[in-house]
Amino acid sequence: MNIGIVLSWLQDFHQQIYRNFLADDALQLILGGFQNTLVIFFFGAIWAFVLATFLTYLHINHKWQWLYRPLQWFVATIHDVPAVVLMMFFYYVVFSGSWNGVVVSIIALGVYTSGTLTKLFKIHIHQVGKEQYESGRMLGFTSRQIYRLIVLPQAIKNMLPLIVGEMKVLLRATSYAGYIAQKDLVKAVDSIRAQTEDVFLPLLFISLLYLFLSWLIAKVFQLLYVKFFSHD
């Protein structure tokens, strides 16, 4: 009797798996949404690092303060706006709904994330002791060489754990792409949920997948830390 119950449960579970993830276009929806999520995250992260590096450079180079101050004010201000609102503003107002949703998501989330990254860069660069600058000058380094060879490696080492946290925030923010008519992973799974009227499995699946991706991000940065800084 118990074996029959177990077999019946396994059969029902198999049917639910098939109905939610394999039947009709479910698998194509999931793969397409997963691809869009990864693209938004990866290129959004690159765009955020580029912007943050540029703003930090302007901050360090005093002759560019006239440009740095308004840009920093802009980035810091929009960072106080919810990411989903910023994405909708970029999509519907700035680009009038004419640009691809993935591209707009990359631009908006990159700008949003760059605000926090810029703060991290600035704080940890200023935390490098003055003696490090003096040592560089005694070795005959230029200001650019001091920052590139001495200051930045130490700053990056110290802020790497905080960058991991910010990358996880960026990953979760990719789920807002559905608000601008773009099929990301969450939107794809929600479409399947609406079709099958099954709540548990789709939500469990998306939760486990995001947990795995968050773990993977932490693992990648951990490997980078071991490769470049563990010998210090």
What SS3 state is found at 232? coil
Q: Which of 14-18, 105-109, 156-160 has the highest mean pLDDT?
A: 105-109
**The tokens of 124 are what?**
């940890």
* Mean local confidence (pLDDT), 142-167: 82
CATH of domain 26-229: 1.10.3720.10
User: Within 10 A of 6 (CB to CB), how many other CB atoms are there?
Assistant: 10
pTM of the predicted model over 0.75 = yes
pLDDT at 192: 79
* Mean local confidence (pLDDT), 52-63: 80
pLDDT at 59: 79
Instruction: Give DSSP secondary structure letters for 36-88.
Output: HHHHHHHHHHHHHHHHHHHHHHHHHSGGGHHHHHHHHHHHHHHTTS-HHHHHH
**What is the C-alpha R_g of the chain?**
23
Task: Answer yes or no: is pLDDT of 67 > 70.
Answer: yes
Among candidate residues 116, 108, 128, the one with its CA nearest the CA of residue 52: 116
Task: Answer yes or no: is pLDDT of 128 > 80.
Answer: no
Percentage of the chain beyond pLDDT 90 is: 27
pLDDT grade for 189, boundaries at 50, 70 and 90: confident
pLDDT at 193: 80
pLDDT grade for 179, boundaries at 50, 70 and 90: confident
Confirm if 87 and 105 have CB atoms less than 8 A apart: yes
| Range of weakest confidence among 32-46, 89-103, 180-194, 216-230 | 180-194
pLDDT grade for 50, boundaries at 50, 70 and 90: very high
Listed by start position, the domains of the chain span 26-229
User: What residues contact 104, with CB distance under 8 A and at least 6 apart?
Assistant: 87, 90, 91, 95, 180
